[in-house]
């Protein structure tokens, strides 16, 4: 299968300015592969203008799955025609941060990236990614389902960063796709009950469908959770929204001795009023979990392929590349969609 000279991409220039354009297709270098993108999920981070604008124009998308078209010199693990999931960042596993288990702080993790991005007909995958975090897809797994591997891997890593005791109560604040996957992944742990919190009724219903024992609107969440939990708050609170109100709510939900995990980024200027007095006397732990690594993407792929995590059920919209702007609007609005997948082919 030969490479075309050009391809179509959906390029971000600014809020509400997404243009479908042509750009050259680069041949792979040593250790690299070129993949024809068959599906790429839209992540909430693809709608964060404060995150995207300093780097604009750029091609978003970091949840791609597709078909290997050609391989560069030295590549032996893959050949043209292989169906694959591609992870966009990989750690070195040898630096100071990697040795301490903080793989997503690794310099190589931040340096490695797919080119130009998943909202494209073709991507070039760097050699470190090819070596460590490109996975062949089983025949029974669709490209669309494979776009959920990366977000599920992030959820798996978050739970691994928590200290979970049997019968703990957990609350997930923000029940978009990330929050729903966190609820699904939580059922793999000895946690007792998981509750969801979201302002949108559609998403609260989805949280219950994903396995939550109940789901509450934010304004009633603290009282409703304690009423449903024998008067106690949550031992574990995962904040899957960058809305500062969600972070503040976490402190209302958490039980003494509990843990709050930050799972979504806020804008750089956001500050959170925290009372150290309560952190000290209630022994509240704050942790964070950013992204995922090969340590989680492989298990995530296995869980989806085996049907243990029915992540594909979260897909509500499938749109061609020409409608990428519409897809981003759906995700940004967040009232009537869950997983939106772009189909460049």
The answer on 146 and 17 residing in a single domain is: yes
pLDDT of amino acid 344: 96
Cα 115–Cα 341–Cα 16 angle in degrees, nearest 5: 75
Q: Please name the residues in contact with 170: beta carbons below 8 A apart, sequence gap of 6 or more.
A: 186, 191, 193, 194, 195, 234, 235, 236, 237, 238
We report the CATH number of the domain holding residue 215 as 3.40.50.720
In three-state secondary structure terms, 321 is helix
Span 59-75, average pLDDT: 98
The answer on 34 and 124 residing in a single domain is: yes
Number of other CB atoms surrounding residue 87 within 10 Å: 27
Tens of pLDDT, residue by residue over 113-124, are 999 999 999 999
Last residue of a domain, one of 288, 303, 328: 288
The answer on 272 and 192 residing in a single domain is: yes
Last residue of a domain, one of 288, 310, 335: 288
CA dist., res. 227 & res. 223, Å (int): 6
CA dist., res. 3 & res. 6, Å (int): 9
Q: Give yes or no for residue 345 having a pLDDT over 80.
A: no
pLDDT of amino acid 338: 97
The answer on 230 and 101 residing in a single domain is: no
Q: How many domains does the chain have?
A: 2
The proportion of the chain whose per-residue pLDDT surpasses 90, expressed as a percent, equals 98
Tens of pLDDT, residue by residue over 2-29, are 899 999 999 999 988 999 999 999 999 9
Task: Please give the mean pLDDT across all residues of the chain.
Answer: 97
Containing domain of residue 173, as a range?
Answer: 162-288
* pTM of the full structure: 0.97
């Amino acid at each position: 299968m030969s490479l075309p000279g050009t391809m179509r991409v959906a390029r971000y220039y600014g809020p509400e300015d997404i243009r479908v354009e042509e750009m050259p297709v680069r041949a792979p270098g040593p250790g690299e592969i070129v993949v024809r993108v068959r599906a790429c999920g839209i992540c909430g981070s693809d709608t964060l203008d404060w995150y995207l604008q300093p780097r604009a124009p750029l091609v978003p998308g970091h949840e791609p799955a597709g078909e290997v078209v050609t391989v560069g010199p030295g590549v032996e693990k893959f050949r043209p025609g292989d169906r694959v999931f591609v992870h966009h960042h990989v750690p070195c596993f040898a630096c100071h941060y990697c040795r301490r288990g903080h793989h997503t702080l690794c310099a190589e993790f931040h340096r490695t990236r797919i080119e130009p991005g998943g909202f494209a007909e073709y991507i070039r995958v760097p050699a470190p990614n090819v070596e460590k975090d490109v996975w062949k897809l089983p025949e029974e797994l669709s490209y669309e389902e494979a776009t959920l591997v990366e977000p599920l891997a992030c959820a798996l890593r978050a739970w691994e960063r928590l200290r979970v005791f049997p019968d703990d109560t957990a609350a997930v604040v923000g029940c978009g796709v990330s929050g729903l996957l966190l609820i699904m992944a939580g059922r793999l742990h000895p946690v007792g009950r998981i509750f969801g919190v979201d302002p949108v009724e559609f998403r609260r219903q989805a949280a219950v469908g994903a396995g939550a024992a109940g789901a509450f609107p934010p304004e009633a969440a603290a009282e409703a959770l304690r009423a449903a939990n024998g008067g106690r708050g949550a031992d574990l609170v995962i904040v899957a929204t960058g809305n500062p109100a969600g972070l503040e709510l976490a402190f209302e939900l958490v039980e003494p001795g509990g843990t709050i995990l930050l799972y979504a980024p806020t804008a750089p200027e956001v500050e959170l009023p925290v009372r150290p007095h309560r952190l000290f006397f209630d022994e509240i732990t704050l942790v964070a979990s950013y992204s995922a690594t090969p340590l989680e993407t492989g298990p995530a792929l296995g869980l989806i392929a085996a049907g243990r995590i029915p992540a594909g059920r979260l897909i509500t919209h499938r749109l061609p590349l020409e409608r990428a702007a519409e897809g981003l609007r759906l995700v940004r609005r967040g009232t009537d969609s869950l997983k939106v997948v772009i189909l460049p082919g």
